[in-house]
Amino acid sequence: MSINDEIFARMGELSPAEKKVARTLLASYPSAGLESAATVAKAAGTSTPTVLRLVTRLGIGSYPDFQKRLRDEITHHMNSPVSRTVEGIRDHAPEPVFEAAMTEKTALIEKLGQFVPPSEFELAVQALAARPRQIAISGGYFSRYLAMLLATQLDQAVPGVDFVAEPLGHDIGKILRLTAGSVAVIIDFRRYELTAKQAADIAKRQGATVIVITDQGLSPAAEGADIVLPVPVDGIPFDSFVGLLALLEALVEGVLQATDGRGIDRMKEWEDTVQIARAYRATSVLQTDSDTDES
């Protein structure tokens, strides 16, 4: 388990001072941990002994050992998909690809609960369900397709949802319209994209609540986020979105339940509209067939 995963897993065990250090490390992970213990303590508003106590609580012998593990993680996560694929194939057990893939994908789902702090998930649900003025959702090169799915499904449960395809392009207006009482959901996975960080920063300046969904390495967009939901993504040849999809579906379900009936009413409106549209199409087809028969 990576260091940031261990911090998330142990968050409920930490003292208030240790939680300050943990959040400081996670907000600028992994770069913050490469600073001296005194620098981390100053950024967290605590003391150097508190930083060292957190390291000990993580089961790491010393602060230099802690930094060595961080550097090893950075080296691993900087690997390209090609490098990870070559390494994965070399180390893969000799079993059929389908069975191996299903085992690995299932494991990602099972690990999701270890990566996402329940308190952060509940904060995300409440932010999305609390009648926000606007919800802007954007993703990256691959993850934009799941961001679109999240926006489409949420839009049937709560109003004011926008999918932001190009947050710093022709969709910039959707980001600039964010205000206090709005929510921005930024999905950004390694290798991280500058536009995600910039969009998150703009949304934060506009006063919106910023939710960042990222991988276990934490996107730079998470630095100033109000809520961070890290997802396990290991896979070959590309990072797996199985865990992300499960998280998004859980979010939609959580939001629907938290709306106290408002979400169901909105879904009924959608369903009634779709039925009307389908009935119209069916009537049109029947009328066309009837006209053809008469002729």
- Residue 252, both tokens: 């939609």
For residue 214, what are the β-bridge partners? 188, 230
List the pLDDT tens digit at each of the 295 positions of the chain: 778 888 888 888 889 899 889 888 887 787 888 889 999 999 999 999 999 999 999 989 899 999 988 887 776 655 555 555 555 555 555 567 778 778 888 888 888 887 888 889 999 999 999 999 999 999 998 899 999 999 999 999 999 999 999 999 999 999 999 999 999 999 998 878 889 999 999 999 999 999 999 987 788 898 888 998 989 887 666 778 898 999 999 999 999 999 988 999 999 988 888 776 666 555 555 555 555 555 4
pLDDT of residue 2: 78
- Beta carbons of 8 and 228 less than 8 angstroms apart: no
Q: What are phi and psi of 132, to 5 degrees?
A: -65, 150
For residue 250, what are the β-bridge partners? none
Q: Could you tell me how many residues make up the chain?
A: 295
pLDDT of residue 91: 54
